[in-house]
Structure 1
Amino acid sequence: MGISVWQLAIIVLIVVLLFGTKKLKSLGSDLGESVKGFKKAIKEDDQKDADFKQSLENSADKSAMKEQAKDKEQA
């Protein structure tokens, strides 16, 4: 009981008649730019998370090295 090809074609025809091709083209372009911006923001956020995790690992490594140095001095 899905939508057949003919029903989909009729729906597309009605939408084109209601909004016009220029409006739909503009809408499609705007939607495409929005999706690109969203993907870019997600990628930047993932990179920031990776950088933050790396900085945490580096600080933990530095703390461990300082602790080892203190242990050597006490021995």
Structure 2
Amino acid sequence: MSQKVDGIIGSLSELESDIDSVNLSLAEMKKSLNSIAQREIDSLLEQTKKMANSEAESMISEAKSKAESESQKITQDGEA
């Protein structure tokens, strides 16, 4: 009987040790995944900023061209 109890206690001790090891591994994986996710977020944010700047520059250029065209038309209409 005592051997069975000792065996059970030993098994439970090993199980507890294994669970602790899994918890440590899980914490390390979580930290690693968070780091990877943050790098990806930063990268996507930078890409989004570049795209937004490019789009804004395009819109400004288009608006400037349109304004210059309308200005020339107004000038021509005023001279006529």
TM-score, normalised relative to structure 2: 0.62
The alignment of Structure 1 onto Structure 2 pairs a total of residues equal to 57
Q: Which amino acid aligns with 2:42?
A: F
Identify which of structures 1 and 2 has the higher relative contact order when contacts are C-alpha pairs closer than 8 Å and 6+ apart: 1
Among residues 24, 29, 36, which one is paired with 1:32 in the alignment?
Answer: 36
Aligned to 1:22: 26
Root-mean-square deviation over aligned CA pairs: 1.7
Among residues 55, 59, 63, which one is paired with 1:55 in the alignment?
Answer: 59
The structure in which a higher percent of residues are helix is 2
Q: Report runs of 4+ in structure 1 exceeding 6 Å deviation.
A: none
Aligned to 1:66: 70
Unaligned residue ranges in structure 2 (runs of 5+):
1-23
SS of residue in 1 equivalent to 2:76 = helix
